[in-house]
Structure 1
Amino acid sequence: MYAIVEIAGQQFKVSKDQKVFVHRLAAEEGNKVSFDKVMLLDDNGTVTIGAPAIEGASVEAKVLQHLKGDKVIVFKKKRRKGYKKKNGHRQSLTQILVEGILASGTKKTTAKSESPKAAKATKSADDLTLIEGVGPVAAEVLAAAGITSFAKLAKTKADDLKSILEASEAKVSHLDPTTWAQQAQLAADGKMDELKKLQDELNGGKAI
């Protein structure tokens, strides 16, 4: 049995006992996580396709470790404008172990070590550092304000985001959140190609 599931804005083909690297999750190492955006299920040849997700289906997993990927060079250049920018980037990742795939209608249980409230919070958390201009520190500030998903960020006005940043003791008041909601909406909708195209036109999250 395998499933096609969306995790932190990416789609993966997973099966039981498989280890997968995904964009950084908010859950702590050792915690159980659940993902309910299951697009497709194949149970011994019986295929179920969601519209877009299969109601009641989920992928249950355990967080093994948080780490960073290999360093990549990001180079931006604009013709005839004299603009060049070179940065290094290491993607924040989380390794998870798929412990089970629940089909629609299957009873779901929660691990005793994790409360239902914590499980719900983990399930809805996204990696906000995918938004250009939001670093790990800013992501923690947003999470402390209750903004832990792309959908929540997309619904938050730029002025409110600026107030959150300025009120924090962390050194994030200089950040410009003008485009964060727009980027977050694309991420929430799974439009990662459009998000990348938009980010190519930004500089640190700000429109050039």
Structure 2
Amino acid sequence: MFAVIKSGGKQYRVAQDQVIEVEKLAGEAGDAVTFGEVLLIGGDAGTTFGAPAIAGASVAGTIVEQGRDGKILVFKKRRRQNSKRSRGHRQHYTAVKITEIVAGA
């Protein structure tokens, strides 16, 4: 069984016991997390689509770690003007292990 959830403006395809990295969520390692916006549930019995979300469906998980991705360099240069600027960015993320997918009524 798998599900498509929405978190942080992005959509993720998840299955039970899978570890995913989503945008930073509040909480510490070991805390429980529930994703209430489930867009699709699929499996052997068929596929259920939401419009836009499935009523009563949820995906539960536990936070594995809070971390930061690798550095992304942002470099801007203007030709023939001796002007350049270099900046870096590291995005925060939360690693979540999916424990349960609950289908709606």
Q: Could you say which TM-score interval applies, normalised by the shorter chain? A: 0.7 to 0.9
What are the equivalent positions in structure 2 for 1:117-196 lying under 5 Å apart? none
Equivalent residue, structure 2, for 1:38: 38
Equivalent residue, structure 1, for 2:69: 69
More helix by share: 1
Secondary structure at 2:26 match in 1:
coil
AA aligned to 1:16 is Q
Query: CA–CA distance in 1 between the matches of 2:22 and 2:78?
Result: 31
Normalised TM-score (structure 1):
0.46
Structure 2 unaligned blocks of 5 or more: none
- CA RMSD in angstroms comes to 2.1
What are the equivalent positions in structure 2 for 1:81-92 lying under 5 Å apart? 84-92=84-92
Equivalent residue, structure 2, for 1:50: 50
Query: CA–CA distance in 2 between the matches of 1:92 and 1:22?
Result: 9
Equivalent residue, structure 2, for 1:3: 3
| CA displacement at 1:75 relative to structure 2 | 2.8
Higher relative contact order (CA 8 A, sep 6+): 2
Equivalent residue, structure 2, for 1:23: 23
Moved over 2 A (4+): 75-86
| CA displacement at 1:94 relative to structure 2 | 0.8
Identity of aligned residues (%): 39
Normalised TM-score (structure 2):
0.88
Query: CA–CA distance in 2 between the matches of 1:92 and 1:4?
Result: 22
**Matched residue count:** 105
